[in-house]
Structure 1
Amino acid sequence: MTKLIQSLSEISTNYDALFVDLWGCVHNGVTAYPDAAAALQTYRKGGGKVVLVTNSPRPWRSVAEQLKGFGVADDAYDAIATSGDSARAAMFLGAVGSKVYHIGTPDERDVFFAPMDLVGDEAMEITPVPLTEAEGIVCTGPFDAMADPSVNRADFLYAKQKGMKLLCANPDIVVDRGETREWCAGALAALYTDMGGESLYFGKPHPPIYDLARRRLARLGSVSDESIICIGDGIGTDVMGGLGEGLDTLFITGGLAAKEFGDDPANPDPARLSTWLSEQNLAPTAAISFLR
């Protein structure tokens, strides 16, 4: 049964490391959540390790710079594992070919296609090309985050007929930037799959990003899976992914699904939470309104 708690400190002494989601947990896409950052700082002062595990399509250094801009202090975490790094490694190893059609913003393209040390001498030269010249698709996000994913249907039909694979750099379906809900790359990948195409995923809830997170953690010291808890607001990403890896999970109710638990995000209704989790057929170890 999922335990509803009021602060991270109620359970944090049971764990040596946290795998912490970012968007909706530590920041809202615009600014940091001060209480969340403070909770992570306190945990680290007590000897715990914090690995930020995010479905951002960006390399970890780019995410670190972004966090500074949001107001998240460097001492709130030890390492960052991104879906972008996991997906970039696969791309440079030829997962979708050497000539790829990129779906995403120019800024994402600049950072995603930058050279990568992780794969070393095995790295393939990747060339962004028009769809008609491509061997595969790399999706870091929609061209327009407010446009319905169905605007890609014609291109996806062509790509499916050509047997192209789609590399999804961010499995999230939607995200809230401040008060605005935006589509993510996962929504496009889901559409492509529904149309009969093949999508490759590297972020939560899929195994590659957890492998990367564990490798980031191993550099900080030896920590067993029993001493790790995954924290986040995505029931189908953070919670499902953590449970799939055999890890404990802490569900943030005040994020994407906040409206499911009553009118006050800071005080989720326990009965509604229990019913909703049963409908999801998932049972996180604990739940909290906001990370604090």
Structure 2
Amino acid sequence: MARIVNALAELGQYRALFCDIWGCVHNGVAPFPDAVKALRAFRKTGGVVILVSNSPRPGRSVAAQLDGMGVPRDCWDDIATSGDAAQFAMLTGEVGRRVHHIGAPKDETFFSDLSDDLKAVAANQPAITRVPLEEAEGIVCTGLFDDMTETPADYMDVLEQARARNLRLLCANPDIEVDVGERRVFCAGAIALAYDQMGGDSLYLGKPHAPIYDLARRRLAALADVTDAQTLCVGDGILTDVQGGLNQKIDTLFITSGLAAGHFGDDTANPDATLLERWILEQTLEPTWAIGHLR
């Protein structure tokens, strides 16, 4: 059974965090003050915080988004995103050179905002061209066009056409859902899951899959010499953050007040231990630690 802790500071054996963002550091609208305080305190003890996100946006774009939301830069060291890993896969032709985009205008930076190392990759590859579905060799999915009004059901016709042509779908965000303030919306992972269920071929680069952890380790290695045994994966997604940590044999801290908050009692800051144990047994995925809020 995962031990419930009251504060990150109780886990002094770790020197680095691979910390989820949405649901842990902010709620899509504003930062969580206790989380910011906890991350600042961790860094002051010499710890390194790599924010690891399933955002389809490149890390630099996510940094700008965090700035705009009021998340201070002194609570994190670097960012690794599913968007970063997916950009590399796209540029190296994993879904062809002529791609059809499923996603919102806000995700346009996926195609234009490249890090210096990815610019070098792009310079040595044939250009990626965005085309209508009927001309595409593959699909890049960053999310829904309008996640406030749409669901995956709105994309069934497009996905059926893609499946009929055996197009591969690059999923830039494996999350199924996220909470935007008090509202829960679908992500690219929900579309990719629907495509898989109809027999399509989806490629995932974010949590819980290995490429994003390889990227996070590279970002961490540039800042400090820290082993996996000294690293803690922090997040509210049992199928992403916890599963990813288990896959990589890295300890995990499960934030119970996020996506699964309704299962652990009325006091989201203090999960009911009995309810938590029962729920974890049902998931067959056991985190190392659990906490109500990151604090």
TM-score (norm 1): 0.98
Q: Which residue of 2 aligns with 1:171?
A: 174
**Structure-1 residue corresponding to 2:160:** 157
1:113 aligns with 2:115: no
Aligned equivalents of 1:227, 1:72: Cα separation in 2: 25
Q: Deviations over 1:10-47 (max 9, x none)?
A: 11x11110000000000000000011011000000000
Q: Does the 8 Å contact 1:101/1:130 carry over to 2?
A: yes
**Alpha-carbon deviations, 1:240-285, whole Å to 9, x = none?**
0011100000000000000000112112110000000010001111
SS in 1 for 2:52: strand
Q: Secondary structure at the match of 1:113?
A: helix
Q: Secondary structure at the match of 1:51?
A: strand
Say yes or no: does 1:191 pair with 2:194: yes
Following superposition, the deviation at residue 123 of structure 1 comes to 3.5
Aligned length: 290
Matched residue, 1:71: 70
Q: Does 1:280 align with 2:279?
A: no
Match of 2:144 in 1: 142
- Alpha-carbon distance in structure 2 between the residues aligned to 1:14 and 1:70: 31
Written as runs of structure 1 = structure 2, the 5 A alignment for 1:219-258 is: 219-258=222-261
Mapped partners of 2:127, 2:42: distance in 1: 42
AA partner of residue 166 (structure 1): L
RMSD of Structure 2 on Structure 1 (CA):
0.9
SS class of match (2:208): coil
How far residue 127 of structure 1 moved from its aligned partner, in angstroms, is 1.0
Work out the CA distance in 1 between the residues paired with 2:117 and 2:210.
Answer: 18
SS across alignment from 2:117: coil
Question: Segments of 4+ in structure 1 off by > 4 A?
Answer: none
Tell me the amino acid that sits aligned with residue 92 of structure 2. Answer: L
- 1:86 paired to 2:89: no
Match of 2:20 in 1: 21
Partner residue, 1:6:
6
Residues 157-190 of structure 1, C-alpha deviations (whole Å, 9 max, x = no match): 1111111000000000000000011000000000
Q: Deviations over 1:81-109 (max 9, x none)?
A: 00000000110111111111100111202
1:110-138 CA deviation, whole Å, 9 max, x = no partner? x0111533341333311111101111000
SS at match of 2:139: strand
Amino acid at match of 2:211: P
TM-score of the superposition, structure 2-length normalised? 0.97
Q: Which amino acid aligns with 2:144?
A: P
* Structure 2: runs of 5 or more not aligned: none
Question: Helix, strand or coil: the match of 2:140?
Answer: strand
SS in 2 for 1:241: helix
Tell me, yes or no, if structure 1 residue 265 matches structure 2 residue 263.
no
1-structure distance, mates of 2:55, 2:159:
23
Aligned AA for 2:214? Answer: D
What residue is the counterpart of 1:55 in the other structure? Answer: 54
Aligned partners of 2:58 and 2:113 also within 8 Å? no
- 1:189 and 1:115 map into 2 onto residues whose CA distance is 23
Q: Which amino acid aligns with 1:123?
A: Q
What SS does structure 2 have at the residue aligned with 1:52? strand
Residue type matched to 1:122 in 2?
N
